Amino acid sequence: MKKYYIGLSITYHDPALAILDDKGSVLFAEASERYLQNKRALNCEADPLLRVKDLLEQYCPSPDEIVIAINWRKKRPLYENIIAALGCLNAEGLMKTGIKKLRSPLNNYQIHHMIASQRNKITSGGLNLARIIAEHYPNCAVSFADFDHHLSHAATACYSSPFTESACAVIDSFGEKGSMAFYHFKNQKIECLYETKGTGSIGFYYMKVTELCGFDWLKGEEWKVMGLAPYGQLNQELYALLKRTISVQGFDCFHHSKDLFTSITELEKFKRHKQNPIEQAADLAYTGQYFFAELMTQLLQHLQQQTGCKNLTLGGGCGLNSAFNGQIKSRTGFEQVFIPSAPADDGTALGSAWLAYYASTAFKPSSTTSAEKPLQSAYLGSTITDDAVKNLIKHNRSLNIQHLPESVCEVTAKLLAEGQLIGWIQGRAEYGARALGNRSILADPRQAATKDKINHTIKFRESFRPFAPSVLHDYAADFFEDYHESPYMDKTLRIKDTMRERIAAVCHVDGTGRLQTVKQQWNPRFYSLINHFYQQTQIPMLLNTSFNVMGKPLVHSLEDAIAVFLTTGLDALVINDYLICKPQNE
């Protein structure tokens, strides 16, 4: 029998789909935003109707049984059902006045919109997938499963990790009951230690800080707060106000009713209006990030003390805060920290699929050590085939295209060493928010001016946004203080003083870099490229940023890649073994 497990992240933002085989191995995992080319794919399906048939044909041929698992419980919380019955979750209801203010830094209409959007996604989750299975595989048995949202996050983190035992924290904006849950993972089993209840949310807090900075959290612009923070300094008045809005005690998170609404009103005087210079929000960003790190430290210290574990896995949207992630080892008792490639909601497609697999499979506890458990590959998405490039060659009238099956890494490294900016597409796309060497824009990290050039001519984004160093593991300790592995570009570490000028393009204003550890066994082609660059320059790293322009997701198809290539300042494009250059007169 051919049995498959299909996990769907049906969250209203960052929907995604993942497929496992009957051994629990990952066959495919990708966010909907890539196929749709719609950043975050807000209120879109996890299983786009015109996409699902092709995915089933490619990854689930002739299925006998399919389990469809979703990342939210179908049974909804009491508060949600009450406000739905009162009509607060439709368009007219969002505009109602006179409703008691929720104890949260966000407005009622914002929270109710999120709840309403999520409720609609739960109702329609898997609808397209079920229709395509019924139409094309009428003899296939189909069953459905739904899982707690935070447990789905935990499954992604724990089952992806190299650990056989760890503490696990899931921290985001909200789940079924609250915004956080804490677990103990051992022998492939995930035991819930504590789950919060109520509106207290570090995720909501950071969304509010993003809003105050003049950025848009619906667009996922929390990244901008992290990038801007090092340009500011601690504002004591603002810090005191933030402390009055939220606090943590043990595993709990609180918004204090006595001070919350007064403090939020007072916070508005710090708000940057969008017409004002971004620099005006630098102290706000710094102070907001500073206090976020304090809150997270308190929670993780308590988790470590309660579990005694030295290993930590971290999931939920707050796991994307790489600026804090790099500090966890020094600020807590955890010695090893793992964040999956997709810690946010897109990753829960994989978590729910794994939960369905383990729920229906009699498995034996693992006897391997943490050193023997393999790291989950992040390269799980779609490919751009050689056939697509051959069609381009056939119909191309201007581009210079060379096929370099034996020397593509060496030739590309030479172009990079000469200062060219390269679009680099290889194999399967990354699962998660970050480009890890398969859908990347690459550059020489040595010249500080390169950062501004990429921001202004390719990414079309703010000048304060930093770029990541992708560094060969064997040499990383020469460049970074207290180096520890960061396989998915998930941690920001301090660059050694003596190295900052040597890699100025990837050194942020505070002397840090959000690094990606590169090993040959994880990505042989990317390792080879960086190694060739190292042989030519004695620098074992490249500047790496996602292959997109601001506001768009990573490129998905050949057409997407060519469009970015021809409308930006990229000098060359490499797809698999093909080097594509612009016409000579350009």
Nearest to 570 by CA among 468, 448, 442: 442
Nearest to 512 by CA among 537, 530, 486, 532: 486
* Strand order through the sheet with 541-546: 400-403, 578-581, 572-575, 422-425, 439-443, 541-546, 468-472, 512-518, 491-494
> For the chain, how are helix, strand and coil distributed in percent, rounded to 5?
40, 20, 40
How many CB atoms neighbour CB 497 within 10 A? 9
Tokens of 43: 């209120």
CB within 8 A of 111, min separation 6: which ones? 102, 104, 199
Q: What integer pLDDT is reported at residue 585 of this predicted model?
A: 46
- Dist. CA 359–CA 298, nearest whole Å: 33
CB within 8 A of 580, min separation 6: which ones? 392, 399, 400, 401, 565, 572, 573, 574
Task: Give CATH 3.90.870.20 domain extents, the chain.
Answer: 380-581
Q: What integer pLDDT is reported at residue 517 of this predicted model?
A: 98
Q: What integer pLDDT is reported at residue 371 of this predicted model?
A: 52
Report strand pairing: 512-518 vs 491-494.
antiparallel
380-581 CATH pick, 3.30.110.30, 3.40.50.720, 3.40.50.2300, 3.90.870.20: 3.90.870.20
C-beta separation of 253 from 315 below 8 A: no
C-beta separation of 165 from 309 below 8 A: yes
Q: Which residues does the chain have with pLDDT short of 70?
A: 362-372, 585-586
Nearest to 471 by CA among 423, 513, 427, 428: 513
The amino acid at residue 245 is T
- Cα four-point dihedral sign 448, 321, 544, 469: positive
Please report, for residues 35, 92, 118, 184, 261, the alpha-carbon distance to residue 88 in angstroms, rounded to integers and kept in the order given.
33, 8, 14, 37, 22
Three-state DSSP state, 399 = coil
CATH number 3.40.50 is the correct assignment for the domain at 3-154+343-376: no
Three-state DSSP state, 554 = coil
Nearest to 18 by CA among 558, 384, 431, 403: 431
C-beta separation of 11 from 124 below 8 A: no
Please report, for residues 285, 288, 522, the alpha-carbon distance to residue 280 in angstroms, rounded to integers and kept in the order given.
10, 14, 42
C-beta separation of 541 from 503 below 8 A: yes
Specify which residues 383 forms β-bridges with: 428
**Burial (CB count within 10 angstroms: exposed 0-12, middle 13-18, buried 19+), residue 82:** exposed
Nearest to 378 by CA among 314, 430, 440, 426: 430
Task: Give CATH 3.30.420.40 domain extents, the chain.
Answer: 202-338
Tokens of 390: 């051959």
Q: What are phi and psi of 27, to 5 degrees?
A: -95, -30
C-beta separation of 196 from 179 below 8 A: yes
202-338 CATH pick, 3.30.830.10, 3.30.70.141, 1.10.3720.10, 3.30.420.40: 3.30.420.40
Specify which residues 145 forms β-bridges with: 69
